[in-house]
Amino acid sequence: MKVAIMCSGGDSSGMNPAIKRFIEYSFELGFKPYLIYDGLEGMIDGNIKKADYSDAAGIIFRGGTIIGSSRSKRFYEYEYRKKAYENLKNKGIEALMVLGGNGSFKALDVFSKEFPVLYSGIPATIDNDIALNEYTLGTDTALNVIRHACDEIRDTSSSFRRGSIIETMGRECGYLALVSALSSGAEICLVPEIEFNLSSIKKRLIKEFKEGRRYLIAIVAEGVGITHYLKEWLEREIGIESRATVLGHVQRGGSPTVFDRLMAYEFVTIGLENLSKGISGVVVYNNGNFGLKDIDEINAAKYQIKPMLLKFGERLAN
C-alpha cells in the first residue's frame, strides 16, 4: 500500500520525529511512503514525493516540519479538493496520515467523506486543544520554551522589583498559559476558561506586597486580550512598575523534548498499524493509553481542560 503523510495548520515541534517514524515504520510494514509538501496547498498542487531513508536522516532533533505546512482557503472549494484527490490517485496513494489540529481534522473529515481514502489523524498543535484527547504533539516543547522564558524574565523582575506580564499563545484555549503559570509559580493567570476578578486580585496583591512580596509574574493567554491593559492596571492599581512580553511564535519552535519525540513515535506507530488493517480514525491519548476515535466524534465534541488544573488556576485569577 502507498501511504502519504502531511502537516496541516500551525507547525509544532514533534512533527519531524513523527515524519521520521512514519517513513521508517512504513518500510517495516511493507508500505511505500510518500511525503506531501506544504500541507493542503501542496496536496492541491501535487507537491508529493516518494520518501526514502535519506528523508528521515537527521531530522528527529529539528523543530518545525521539514515538509512544510499551510492553511488553505482553496481547500474549502470542492474543485480543489477533487484536484487534491486526483493527485493522490495518480500516484496510487490509498491512505493519508495528517498531523494537525482542529481545522485540519475538519478538512480531513470533509475530504474523507467525499473520496475513498483511508486516513489517520495525529493530534499535533501546541495549543493542546483537541477534544477527547489529553495530549497533542508539540505541547511539551512549547511549555518548556515558555518555562525557560518565564525563568529568565523572573530574574530581571526580581532584580528591579517589577511586575512582568507574559502573553502565551492560545486564542480559545488557555492550556499553555495555565500550565505555565502553575509550573512557573506565577502570581496571576488569566485564561478564557476561568472567570477573573481584578478587584479580588488587587486586594490579594496589596496584602501580599505589604507582607513582603517584591515583584510578580502574570501569565496571560492571548485570547483574553488583556495583556497591555494589565500592565497599565498593575502600575495604576498596585503601584508596581511593569513590563509586558508577548512570546509569540517563539513558542512553536525549538528542538522537540524527549517526551514529544516518544509521543510522536507512539502516535504514528498506532496510526500506521490501524491503516494496515484498513481502519481510519484519529489517534488519541488519554489516561496513559492510546486509542482511536471517530473523526466525527472528535469534531463534534468540545475540548475541556482537566477540572483539577482549572481549580488550581482559580486562585490566580481572583
Neighbours of 143 (CB within 10 A): 22
Q: Of the residues 127, 129, 140, 260, which is catalytic?
A: 127
Look up residue 266 and give its three cell numbers. 507512539
Give the integer Cα–Cα distance in Å for 27 and 192.
44
Neighbours of 84 (CB within 10 A): 27
For 281, the 3-state DSSP assignment is strand
Q: How many residues does the chain have?
A: 318
Residue from 45, 102, 112 nearest 74 by CA? 45
For 244, the 3-state DSSP assignment is strand
> Is 52 an active-site residue?
no
Query: DSSP string of 156-181?
Result: HHHHHT-EEEEEES-SS--HHHHHHH
Would you please indicate which residues are annotated as catalytic (active-site) residues? Answer: 127
